Amino acid sequence: MGKLYFKYGAMGSSKTAQALMCKFNYEQKGFNVFLMKPSIDNRTVKDGKALVSSRIGLISECLEFNKNDNFFEICSKFSIIDNKNVLIIDECQFLTKQQVNQLKDISLQIPVLCYGLLTNYKTELFEGSKRLVEISDSLMEIKSICKCGRKATVNARIINNKIVTNGNELDIGGDEKYESMCYSCYVKKLREQKS
C-alpha cells in the first residue's frame, strides 16, 4: 500500500535534485521507478528524449504528460501499478485537479511522490499544488533561503531587474526569470519599485 506525498519548496530549493535522489534510493532497493514531468517543461530534452535535470547536475530520462492525460491510462499503458513500482512526478504544480485526484487513487496501491512549487509568482497556489495540499498523505517543505538569509517562500518573476505581478501564470524558466526570496524582501522590492 502506498501514499501520496507532496514535497514542495521555492525555486532553487533542490526539489528536482531530491526527486532524482529519491529515484536512485528506490532503484537501489530493487523498485522500478517511473519518473514523469509535464511536457510544458521543455527546457531539458536530449536526442528527442525528455529529461529531468537539476541545477546541481543530476539528470535522468523521464516520461512526459500533458494536462489532458489520464494517469489511469498512463499507468495501464506502462504497467505502473505493481507492488515493486513507484511513481515520481516532478514539476507537479502543473497537474490539474483531476490528475491529482487520479494520483491519489493510484497511491492507494503504490507510492506516488510529487515534487514542485506551492505558489506561482503572484504568491497564489497553483491548481495542482492546491489539490495536493488538500489530499496528500504527507506534506514536506523543502527549504531554501533568500539573499538576506531568511527562508525563501516567494517565487518572484523578474523582468529588467523588476518584480512582475501581472501576466500569464505559465512562463517556464529558471534563474534567468525567477528569484526565490522571503516575503519581507519581496514586499520591500515592490515598494521600492512603486516609489
CA 159/CA 171 separation, integer angstroms: 12
Predicted confidence at residue 5, as pLDDT, reads: 98
Tens digits of residue pLDDT in 112-166: 999 999 999 899 999 999 999 999 999 999 999 999 999 999 988 888 888 887 7
Tens digits of residue pLDDT in 11-54: 889 899 999 999 999 999 999 999 999 988 766 656 668 887 78
91 is catalytic: yes
- Residue 86: other Cβ atoms inside 10 A: 22
CA 169 to centroid of chain Cα atoms: 15
pTM: 0.90
Active-site entry in 91, 141, 169, 179:
91
Please say if the pLDDT value at position 195 is more than 80: no
Enumerate domains of the chain plus CATH numbers.
4-143 (3.40.50.300)
Look-up: residue for cell 511522490? 113
Q: Which band of pLDDT confidence, cut at 50, 70 and 90, is reported for residue 2?
A: confident
Angle at 110 between CA 107 and CA 111, to 5 degrees: 75
What dihedral do alpha carbons 154, 57, 29, 37 form, nearest 10°? 60
CA 173/CA 169 separation, integer angstroms: 12
Q: Which band of pLDDT confidence, cut at 50, 70 and 90, is reported for residue 100?
A: very high
